[in-house]
Structure formats: structure tokens, C-alpha cells
Structure 1
Amino acid sequence: MNPVVIALCAGMLTVAALLALVRVARGPTMLDRVVALDVVVAVVVIGLCVEAAANRHATTLPVIVVLALVGFVGSVSVARYATRSSDRDRSRR
């Protein structure tokens, strides 16, 4: 793979991860922080995919699959929790 392409991918992924971490730190609500952490997990997964493609191996594939599943399950769990807590707040009014 072309080293310039790898460097561009790494640079864009770094910027995306830094912006997501800023949102985690500054996010006004819990849901903003959860979405930002989901973006960070996605950036890590994509970074591992770029590394696997650059080195032409598939040994990181199980790690990629597990990280993607953990990110998905975590996001769905927090979304369900947030929906239930907002339903409780509405019923109290």
C-alpha cells in the first residue's frame, strides 16, 4: 500500500479521534459523551483495518469484530437506558 495513503488515513483518523475526545470532555449531556465514545471505538476499528490492509494480514480480524460488537452493544445499552430514564421523567410530571 502507498505510504502516502497510509499517512493520510492515519492523520484523518487522529484528527477524528481528537475531536471525538474533545466532545467526550465537553459534551453537555450523557448521550453526547456516549456518541463521542462510539466514534472513538469506530476510529480504533478503522485504524486496525488500515493497519491490517497496510501489512496485508488478517490476524487482527477477531479483535476488529469484537471491538465492533462491544461498541454496538454498548451504544444500544446506553440508548435503552436513556429511553427508560426519560420515560420515567415524563411519567413523574
Structure 2
Amino acid sequence: MNAAISPVLWTAMLVAFGCFSLAMVITLIRLFIGPSAQDRVLALDYLTITALLLMLVLGLRHHSSMYFEAATLVAMLGFITSIGLARFLLRGEVVE
């Protein structure tokens, strides 16, 4: 345990890490089993959000700004991917 982090915060980060990991496993199940393409797209979007949150918790734990920069990139790529997949499901093409 790091000396700069209080035991309460350390425990909260471990609980958050466990909850986000469990959410990712459940989301992966929905991604592979999802009955429709829309369910799979939503699962992929939620997977990027939970990965982003997991990276933020790791950034707090390790006191590194690199995790926050990587989380920003994941958020931007997740947003662009969601728009592309939504356009593909609605129109059947991404680029006009």
C-alpha cells in the first residue's frame, strides 16, 4: 500500500476495481451472446466505458497521468466507434 493513500481510499479503489472487472465480464457475455446487433453494439459501448473507468482507477492507484491520457484516447475512440456502428446499423454504410 502506498503511504500517500489512506486505507479507506485504498479499499474503495480495490472494490471499484473488482466491480468494474465484474461488469466487464458480464458485458463480454452480452457481447458474445447478444441476440441482436444492437445489443452487441451497446455492449461494446459499455465495454469501452468500463475500460475507461478501470483505467481511471488505475491512474489514481499508481499516481500516473499516463492512465488519464490513455483514458481520454479510449473515450474519443469509443465515441467515434459508437457513431460509426450506429450509422452502419441504420444505413448499411458508414461513409457516404
Normalised to the residue count of structure 1, the TM-score between the two structures is 0.83
| Structure 1 consecutive aligned stretches of length 4 or more whose deviation exceeds 4 Å | none
Tell me the CA shift for residue 63 of structure 1. 1.2
Match of 1:20 in 2: 27
1:65 to 69, 72, 75: 72
- CA RMSD of the aligned region, Å? 1.2
Match of 2:83 in 1: 76
1:1-93 pair list within 5 angstroms? 1=5, 2-85=9-92
Tell me the CA shift for residue 4 of structure 1. 1.0
The aligned amino acid for 2:39 is D
Tell me the CA shift for residue 40 of structure 1. 1.0
Greater RCO structure (CA 8 Å; 6+ sep) = 1
Size of the aligned set, in residue pairs, is 85
Normalised to the residue count of structure 2, the TM-score between the two structures is 0.81
Secondary structure of residue in 1 paired with 2:30: helix
Secondary structure of residue in 2 paired with 1:60: helix
CA distance in 1, matches of 2:67, 2:22: 23
The aligned amino acid for 1:6 is M
The aligned amino acid for 2:70 is V
Secondary structure of residue in 1 paired with 2:65: coil
Unaligned runs of 5+ in 2: none
CA distance in 2, matches of 1:60, 1:13: 16
